[in-house]
Structure 1
Amino acid sequence: MTTPRLPATLPGMRVGLYGGSFNPPHRGHAHVAHLALQRLRLDRIWWLVTPGNPLKSADGLPDVDRRLAAVRKVAHHPRAIVTDLESRLGTRYTIDLVRRLKTLRPAVRFVLVIGADNWATFHRWGGWREIARTVPIAVVDRPGATFAALASPAARAFAQARISERDGGLLPDLSPPAWIFIAGIKVPLSSSQLRRSATRG
């Protein structure tokens, strides 16, 4: 069995892993990606269009190709890569993805980029403690999720591993567990709201 081709990297590259179903993608997603690129001084950010969220129903979820095309319309940045890597690797859970990537590209400095809403429920992810001990994590604030994220089981479990926001550029070089909470202008959009609006329209 051959391993699917990964996006091109060089040893020492700093790569953000930004996954989601992106159904649909919107300016809020792009804001998170751009903020991570800037604050973490990333060389690349991979938009990982997933087969589906294991914690959510897949009913009505457009196929990966349609969502890839939609993401490419919003991921406007020269260092952004849009990929269906998880489908091609056959990984369904984040823990499986980060294990594979660390094996396939051991010299690349991967950082998991997630929104504060996901950090608030991170303890429900399969192997969440191992994820945090495998790659540094950047948590980007999202509207209405600040308190829940900072008071979450994951935030408490790894309280000693949190670094100051002003040290964001250091995060990709740190040995995990290490995480940061990135504040900034919040874009008040969500995929679920957009789907509801489309249904009503």
Structure 2
Amino acid sequence: MMRHAYPYLAPGMTVGLLGGSFDPPHEGHVQISRAALKRFGLDQLWWLVTPGNPLKENPPASMARRVQAAREIMDHPKVRISDIEARLGTRYTAQTLRALRKSYPRVRFVWLMGADNLAHFHRWKDWREILDSVPVGVLARPGERISARLSPAARIYSRYRIPAAQSQRLARAETPAWCFLNVPMIDASSTEIRKRGGWSE
């Protein structure tokens, strides 16, 4: 785990934040991360391994196990596996973003998520604050493209959408700003892996 809650980031850097339970992490997470680094031109990308998802009923595997598994599967010099939410004591994405932006006022953070999350993003706590405070990059996953594009968040913020062909603009765009990317995806699911018994205590 990280030695300090707040690692050093140089002013002006662009850092993508991919939050999730990672219960377990899989190749789909890896592919999203590599695509985001390239298509959004990010300097770094952090996997924010959450203590627990407030929208899920069952608690995930231990933080230590998920962080270790994430480090084993995601091997990239620009990707950091982070347990910072547990260290900060934040439970919701908006809270985490407030803390990070306060600690790194000159760093440009980009919130990253799969299109499946955009489909129900309007259920997230303070979801408008998230879109209003940081750029958001959405990466399409199999079977979720249509429902995501028709979601309340996508409709309400439709005029702030940056075309995929201009995705390199996102990290430094004035907020609100979001970009939807169709990228080649691996059809992997943490839920399905658990159902198959490939991730047990």
Structure 1-normalised TM-score?
A: 0.95
Match of 2:139 in 1: 140
Partner Cα separation in structure 2 for residue 196 and residue 38 of structure 1 = 32
Does residue 79 of structure 2 align to residue 80 of structure 1?
yes
Structure 1 residue 196 and structure 2 residue 198: aligned? no
Q: Deviations over 1:165-198 (max 9, x none)?
A: 1111111111111000011112111000000011
Distance across 2 between alignment mates of 1:43 and 1:200 = 32
- Which amino acid letter does the alignment assign opposite residue 148 of structure 1? S
CA 158–200 in structure 1, closer or farther in 2 if over 3 Å, else same: closer
Moved runs in structure 1, 4+ residues, more than 2 A?
Answer: none
**AA in 2 matched with 1:101:** L
Name the structure 2 match of 1:24. 24
1:171 lines up with 2:147 in the alignment: no
User: Any conservation in 1 of the 2:23–2:190 contact (CA below 8 Å)?
Assistant: yes
Structure 1 residue 199: Cα displacement: 6.8
User: Per-residue deviation at 1:76?
Assistant: 1.3
Partner of 1:10: 10
CA distance in 2, matches of 1:15, 1:156: 26
Partner of 1:198, secondary structure, is coil
User: How far did 1:58 drift?
Assistant: 3.1
Secondary structure in structure 1 of the residue aligned to 2:197: helix
State the SS of the aligned residue for 1:175: coil
**Residue in 2 aligned with 1:155?**
154
What residue identity is the alignment partner of 1:8?
Answer: Y
Tell me the distance in 1 between the aligned counterparts of 2:199 and 2:116. Answer: 25
Which AA in structure 1 matches 2:167? G
Structure 2 residues without counterparts, runs of 5 or longer: none
Identity between Structure 1 and Structure 2 (%): 45
**Runs of 5+ unmatched residues, structure 1:** none
1:117-175, Cα deviation, whole Å (9 max, x unpaired)? 00111000000011100100000000110001100000001000000111111111111
- Give 3-state SS (helix, strand or coil) of 1:29's partner: helix
- With normalisation by structure 2, the TM-score equals 0.95
CA distance in 1 between counterparts of 2:8 and 2:166 reads 27
Q: Helix, strand or coil for the counterpart of 1:184?
A: coil
For residues 48 and 199 of structure 1, do their structure 2 counterparts lie closer, same or farther at Cα, with a shift above 3 Å needed?
Answer: closer
| Residues in 2 aligned to 1:134 and 1:75: alpha-carbon distance in whole angstroms | 28
